[in-house]
Amino acid sequence: MSMNAIGVPEGPAERTTVSLPTSITRLLKAEAQMSRRSVSSIVREALEAYLSGREQPGLPSFVGIADSGKGDLSERVEDLLAEAIERPE
């Protein structure tokens, strides 16, 4: 599977509507005509370039800073929470 410029696998396209100022639309259409490309391909390329320069969201910084000692914590989270609630202080 091929990846685009921002490391996302390329797959089926999804139609999206975007409102642009008339001046930008004119420039975009002129560029498409001069470069013999579609408006969509120019917008995709511009968005990939913009997004590739941005930090991609990740996990919160606190994820993984502690060790519970319980290897099955994510699988038993509901049971462990119920036990903690039922436990008298």
In a domain, 37, yes or no: yes
In a domain, 41, yes or no: yes
In a domain, 39, yes or no: yes
In a domain, 40, yes or no: yes
> Which amino acid appears at position 74 of this protein?
S
Total tally of structural domains belonging to the chain: 1
3-state class (DSSP) for residue 3: strand
- The CA distances from residue 73 to 8, 28, 37, 41, 87, in Å, are 30, 52, 52, 46, 18
In a domain, 48, yes or no: yes
Structural domain including 45 reads 20-55
Distance between CA atoms of 31 and 33, rounded to whole angstroms?
Answer: 5
Confidence of residue 65 (pLDDT cuts 50, 70, 90): confident
* pLDDT at residue 51 greater than cutoff 80: yes
The per-residue pLDDT for 56 is 66
In a domain, 30, yes or no: yes
- The CA distances from residue 46 to 42, 74, 85, in Å, are 6, 40, 52
The per-residue pLDDT for 68 is 74
